[in-house]
Amino acid sequence: MAITKTNFINYTRCKRFVALEEIHKEKLLADISYQDYKKEEDEDKLVELVGSMYETDSEDNEHDLINKENRYLEVMMKYYNEIELLVGDYVKEHFEGKTIYSKNNFYQECFDFNDNGLKYMCYVDVYNEQDDRINIIEVKATTTNKFLSLKYNHPKKDKYSIFLKKYNILYLKDEIEGYDILQEMPLKKYELGRSKLFDRYGLGKYVYDLAVQRFIIEGEYRESNNEDKLKNFHYYLGILNHEYVFDGTYEDNKPVYNPDANGNEIVTLIDLTKVTEEMQKMVYEDKQRLEEYIKLSDASPCKLGASCEYKKQTECKYFAPICGQIIPPKNSSLAYKRNGFGFKDEKGTRHKGLDLINEGYINMLDIPEAWITSKNHQIQRDTLVSQSEYINKDKIKIMFKQLKYPIYHLDFETFPCPLPRFKGEKPYMQSPFEFSLHIEREPGVCDKDKDNYVFLAPDHKDHREEMIKAMLKYMDPDQGTLFAQNVAFEKGRIKELSYIFPEYKEPLLKLYNRGFDLIWLLDTNSKLYQELGFSEEEAKTMNFYDYKMSGSFSIKKTLPVFTDLTYDNLEVRNGTMAIIEYASYPYMSKEEFKLKYDALVEYCKQDTWAMVAILDSLRKIVNK
């Protein structure tokens, strides 16, 4: 049995993953008898598990729920592959010796070794061999910001990162000879930051990946009795530099990522040789667990936890269809708003996150009422019990008075490209390609079609200046209110555009300063409400809540409460789908492009019309 690096990382999540994987392969490949599993699992349980992995539609077509097509990953893959090549190019240019890299695994350097009947193997993204050392570089489509944000300080002093950049390589400061860490922060704080690199389900997931790779490489060298050569190996992550600003240089219609005006390279390396060495004990223990899991092939339920990576991009593929099915889609115990710290019981023990589910507190009402100490949580509980809504009309009425007309209901659709495409952009900058604007000139006076203006880029060329001109054509920077759901996002894009296009800076920043959030009316804005004369407790308390919202103030949850509008009948129904369709422009026929273009227009238009409808409905409720 071959264990790739990806297998290793997934198989060691929990005891259940390996067994579920084998059951899934059995159904998928139809080359293993169910009898093999009856020894480990009761037949009825196995049938139930397989049934959870597949669903049958109305026409009796069977669909695999585990290996779902991920269109988002597909459209973004070319950018991820380009990052690998950029790191490889950088190493080839700046390092001596032979450098091997390719977007195709077949041409990458491969390592493997055999142990206990298993073959462990991995490919290396970038392999650099010099006379006296070998450099292993694992490429990740993340940015330096995640690592450099590990900053600490002495009280009332400036914060410093635990990393220092030298020659475009980040080094941990305790590994730099003579570096005085105590001058910048207490040693305990430094060690706290450093320890986060060992959390395999947090920031340390990138480091763990490299550590597993190191484990397999060292396994090959030990198997071939060349262990003495391992001292020459150095291990790095190759990632994007979040400070890099693209200067807009193109050759053959492709961006050329020269060093920017401040000398920043598009990619940066992180030296993790020592950290991955320290992590080998953890990896070896995981290997032992992996072999035990394979031997047991136990598909019975186990405790949920960090390894599930619940609600992360890297969530276990078996969580939603199988393990997480125990969590109800509405009003679960996890739906109490802003409750990352969980609940304290009578003994002072804290219960939080998936531990609540493991302990049997599945539904919102399963939480003992004695544990409820927050007024917001009590409101959620009371409205669920009574199947009703809560409203503080006084707070909402006063906030309505802060609105200045006309109200510009604005929504951007953006493309978070890993690699900057246009001048002035940074890696992963949210590059706007569409906006919808509904103008409400007086309270409740807004026509869905006549008062709507949409700008949508027709291709992947730079249309940002056209977008700015269109915004300023319809929005007067000197009057009215810029209104949005999560207005900080719209304000952020406007501010970025003001710096990239300084000739429009003054009017854009005027719009920026007129921002108002729909959430302030429904949930709250503690600082603003206190300025308006409310007590701290009342200012912190939500203004409106309906049990059907299930702890969320997203527009998808609030819209059905206030209106009959729905996204279900739209071809593009959410922001991810919008990104996919925009990214897929170059691959569409003329006919498909027309359909998708119109679908994008309708989706963005729905977002701003939804805000108009919610605001109008809320206005009528408080004025009854």
Q: What is the DSSP string of 511-567?
A: HHTTEEEHHHHHS--HHHHHHTT--HHHHHS-SEEEGGGTT---HHHHHHHH-S--S
Pairing type for strands 98-101 and 2-4 reads unpaired
- Domain membership of residue 319 (yes or no) is no
The single residue listed with the structure tokens 């109200």 is 407
- Domain boundary residue, one of 70, 95, 112: 70
Measured CA to CA, the distance from residue 267 to residue 426 in angstroms comes to 12
CA nearest neighbour of 172 among 154, 185, 190: 190
Q: Identify whether 406 is preceded by a cis peptide bond (ω within 30 of 0).
A: yes
Model pLDDT for residues 282-330, shown as the tens digit of each residue: 999 999 999 999 999 999 999 999 999 999 988 999 999 999 999 999 9
Instruction: Specify the DSSP class assigned to residue 445.
Output: B
Q: Are 413 and 557 in the same domain?
A: yes
The whole-number pLDDT of residue 38 equals: 40
Does 123 map to a domain?
Answer: yes
Q: Which pLDDT value is given to residue 76?
A: 87
Average pLDDT over the chain reads 92
DSSP symbol at 442: B
Domain boundary among 27, 55, 70: 70
**For the domain that residue 474 is a member of, what is the CATH number?**
3.30.420
CA–CA distance from 244 to each of 97, 157, 162 (Å)? 27, 27, 20
Residues 548, 562: Cα–Cα separation, whole Å: 11
- How confident is the model over 528-541, as pLDDT tens digits? 999 999 999 999 99
pLDDT in tens, 440-482: 999 999 999 999 999 999 999 999 999 999 999 999 999 999 9
Q: Tell how far CA 158 is from the center of its chain.
A: 29
Please check whether residues 369 and 409 belong to one and the same domain: no
Assess whether 60 and 78 both reside in one domain.
no
Label residue 22 by pLDDT band (50, 70, 90). confident
Q: Which residues contact 506 (CB under 8 A, 6 or more apart)?
A: 477
- CA dist., res. 389 & res. 382, Å (int): 9
Enumerate residues 6+ apart whose C-beta is below 8 A from 237: 137, 138, 139, 140, 206, 207, 210, 269, 270, 272
Q: What's the CA gap between 424 and 244, in Å, rounded?
A: 9
Here the tokens at position 28 are 């998928």
Question: Do 150 and 84 fall within a single domain?
Answer: yes
Q: Are 380 and 405 found together in one domain?
A: no
Q: Is residue 601 part of a domain?
A: yes
> Which of 358, 293, 359 shows the shortest CA–CA distance to 323?
358
User: What band does 409 get if pLDDT is binned at 50, 70 and 90?
Assistant: very high
- State the Cα torsion 553-521-570-549 to the nearest 10°: 30
pLDDT band at 580 (very low <50, low <70, confident <90, very high): very high
Look at the chain and report how many structural domains it folds into.
Answer: 4
Residue type, 208: Y
Q: How far apart are the first and last CA of the chain?
A: 70
Alpha-carbon span 96 to 229, nearest angstrom: 19
Q: What is the pLDDT of residue 68?
A: 59
Q: What 3-state class would DSSP assign to 146?
A: helix
Alpha helices in 198-334 (DSSP H): 205-223, 273-278, 280-296
Same domain assignment for residues 270 and 353:
no
- pLDDT (mean) for 486-514: 98
pLDDT of residue 53: 53
What is the chain's percent helix, strand, coil content, to nearest 5?
A: 45, 20, 35
Listed in sequence order, the residues at least 6 apart from 396 whose beta carbon sits closer than 8 Å to its beta carbon are 521, 543, 544, 618, 622
Residue 322 domain-assigned? no
Q: Are 30 and 81 within one domain?
A: no
Of 21, 38, 97, nearest to 316 (Cα)?
21
Q: Is 446 helix (H, G, I), strand (E, B) or coil?
A: coil
Q: Indicate the pLDDT class of residue 83, thresholds 50, 70 and 90.
A: very high
Domain end position, chosen among 12, 35, 70: 70
Task: Name the residue among 249, 292, 405 with its Cα closest to residue 16.
Answer: 292
Which phi and psi angles does 450 have, rounded to 5°? -70, -30
Do residue 240 and residue 362 come from a single domain? no
Tell me the backbone φ, ψ of residue 576, rounded to 5 degrees. Answer: -65, -40
Residue 550 CA, chain-centre distance (Å), reads: 21
424 and 468 belong to one structural domain? yes
| Domain of residue 55, residue span | 2-70
302 is a domain residue: no
> Mean per-residue pLDDT for 270-287?
98
Q: Is residue 63 over pLDDT 90?
A: no
pLDDT for 101:
94
Residue 527: which region, alpha, beta or left (left: phi > 0; alpha: psi -120 to 50)?
Answer: alpha
Q: Are 10 and 3 in contact (CB under 8 A)?
A: no
For residue 269, the SS3 value is strand
The answer to whether position 365 is within a domain reads yes
Query: How sure is the predictor about 67, in pLDDT bands with cuts at 50, 70 and 90?
Result: low
- Strands (DSSP E) contained in 185-339 are 233-240, 250-251, 254-255, 267-271
> What are φ and ψ of residue 241, in 5° steps?
-90, 110
pLDDT at residue number 108: 87
Query: pLDDT exceeding 90 applies to what percent of the chain?
Result: 88
* H-helix segments, 342-479: 354-358, 375-386, 393-400, 464-474
Query: pLDDT tens, 419-444?
Result: 999 999 999 999 999 999 999 999 99
Within a 10 A sphere around the Cβ of 30, how many other Cβ atoms?
8
> 54 with 96, same domain?
no
Cα–Cα dist 338/519, whole Å: 14
**Residue 524 Cα distances to 117, 141, 340, 366, 391, angstroms:** 59, 36, 18, 27, 12
Residue 541 lies in a domain: yes
Residue count of the chain? 624
Confidence at residue 446, expressed as pLDDT on a 0 to 100 scale: 98
The residue type found at 220 is: E
For residue 620, the SS3 value is helix
Burial of 118 (0-12, 13-18, 19+ CB in 10 A): middle
Rounded mean pLDDT, 124-130: 96
Query: What band does 77 get if pLDDT is binned at 50, 70 and 90?
Result: confident
Label residue 65 by pLDDT band (50, 70, 90): low
Any domain includes 226: yes
Give the Cα separation of 39 and 143 in Å (integer): 47
Does residue 369 surpass a pLDDT of 90? yes
Query: Are residue 158 and residue 278 in the same domain, yes or no?
Result: yes
What confidence tier does 28 reach under pLDDT thresholds 50, 70, 90? very low
In which element (H, E) is residue 435 found? strand 430-440
**Does residue 217 carry a pLDDT above 60?**
yes
Question: Does the pLDDT of residue 102 top 60, yes or no?
Answer: yes
Structure confidence by residue, pLDDT tens digits, 522-578: 999 999 999 999 999 999 999 999 999 999 999 999 999 999 999 999 999 999 999
The CB density around residue 427, as the number of other CB atoms within 10 Å, is 27
Q: Mark whether 275 and 223 lie in a shared domain.
A: yes
